[in-house]
Structure 1
Amino acid sequence: MKNAFKITTIALAFVGLSFAAKAQTATTTTTTKSGIRYSIGVDAGIPTGNFKDNYKWNLGGSVQADIPVASQLFVTVNAGYNNVFGEKNVGGVAAADVPNLQLLPVKAGLKFFPVSNFYIQGEAGAAFLLNKSDFFNDKSVAFVYAPQIGVQFPVSASGNFIDAGVRYEGTTKYSSAFDNSKVNFVGVRVAYGF
């Protein structure tokens, strides 16, 4: 029930940002003076699947570059940091705390604007587990993929913008022995671009 409430809150925030974007009279430009758009954002999410049994939520940040390759199409390069917060006192009386996961995802992909200010984005890459020693994992790197939809709207005449997107992010297993060593979540990214 708690996760349904959190997902509903995220969805409503995204809808609100979409309406705010429609209220803008200017459209997002496809390039800046240098041709490349940069953004710095805050990332947050809610675990899904079996992953939610031991983890509550995640918080992090990312930087992204959007490189124009055609009209309304960009190649994206994204790097960030995510801290996934583990459950406390798992199992009752003599239980232990689940350690936080510290991830460094590095992704590249495509961002397409089918209509002004609305985009569809897909990225893939590698997610590095920074605190492997806290777990029984035999891998410190996993394949990561992240489909995303979002809105991008201008906030100044100089080309600065707000980029707000909702995505699903998932990885392959960090441990060959445990099927539950995959990291997956529904998340949001709200970024300031220039």
Structure 2
Amino acid sequence: MKKIVLAFATMLLVMCISTQSTQAQLKRFSIGPFVEAGFPVGKFNDTHNTGYGIGLGADVKLVAGLTAVGSVSYFRFPGKDYTSNGSTYTYPNYNAVPIRLGLRYQLISLLYVKVEGGTVQYTGKNYNGVGGLVAPGIGIRLLGLDVEAKYEAWFKDGTRGFFGLKAGYNF
């Protein structure tokens, strides 16, 4: 897990260094922090509460309107309480590190659509391992401020889907 995060951080650092000269002229590369909230749907909503995450995203402009995007974050979905045979229990929390790569297409000057795919590393003691993810979304980007609405689905031993809101600032 640490190797994955280290490899991603190294990739971002190399991209920062290699695009330093063009960034001042064309601003083809940006990087920045974000926060996000996830609202579970389906069976996932029966077992878990609203989740919250924090992360780091980056993007590189490719051609007119098309941008390559990537992010790494930490996400936590707290488990809900349930009663069985007169005793109260709590579903285990889902703690995860999603790593996403994808493409963003600028529809008009502010509005974009985006699709990302990648892996999700579960880090909890009750549930761990690696799964896949897919995350289509739509958003608005004004100067460095980026606000996005999306649906994200994680695949491992079934599907855990949620609608998400993400807000960040890119430098």
What TM-score do the two structures reach when normalised by structure 1?
0.72
Secondary structure of the equivalent of 1:43?
strand
Q: Which runs of 5+ in 1 are unaligned?
A: 1-30, 155-160
Over aligned residue pairs, what C-alpha RMSD do you find? Answer: 1.6
Secondary structure of the equivalent of 1:169?
strand
Question: Where do residues 78-93 of structure 1 align in structure 2 (5 Å cutoff)?
Answer: 78-88=71-81, 90-91=82-83, 93=86
> Which residue number in structure 2 is paired with residue 188 of structure 1?
165
**Pairing partner for 1:111 from 88, 91, 104:** 104
Secondary structure of the equivalent of 2:88?
coil
Shift of 1:39: 2.2
Secondary structure of the equivalent of 1:56?
coil
Shift of 1:32: 4.7
Instruction: Establish whether residue 147 from structure 1 lines up as the match of residue 139 from structure 2.
Output: no
Q: What is the alpha-carbon distance in structure 1 between the residues aligned to residue 155 and residue 105 of structure 2?
A: 26
> Which residue number in structure 2 is paired with residue 163 of structure 1?
146
Instruction: Establish whether residue 73 from structure 1 lines up as the match of residue 81 from structure 2.
Output: no
> Which residue number in structure 2 is paired with residue 121 of structure 1?
114
Q: What is the alpha-carbon distance in structure 1 between the residues aligned to residue 48 and residue 94 of structure 2?
A: 9
Specify the code of the residue in structure 2 equivalent to 1:120.
V
Structure (1 or 2) with the greater strand fraction: 2
> Which residue number in structure 2 is paired with residue 134 of structure 1?
126
Secondary structure of the equivalent of 1:52?
helix
Shift of 1:95: 2.1
**Percent of aligned positions with the same letter in both sequences?**
24
Shift of 1:72: 1.4
Name which of structure 1's ranges 91-100 and 78-87 shifts more when overlaid on structure 2. 91-100
Q: Which runs of 5+ in 2 are unaligned?
A: 1-21
4+ residue stretches of structure 1 with deviation over 3 A?
none
Secondary structure of the equivalent of 2:43?
helix
Q: What is the aligned length?
A: 147
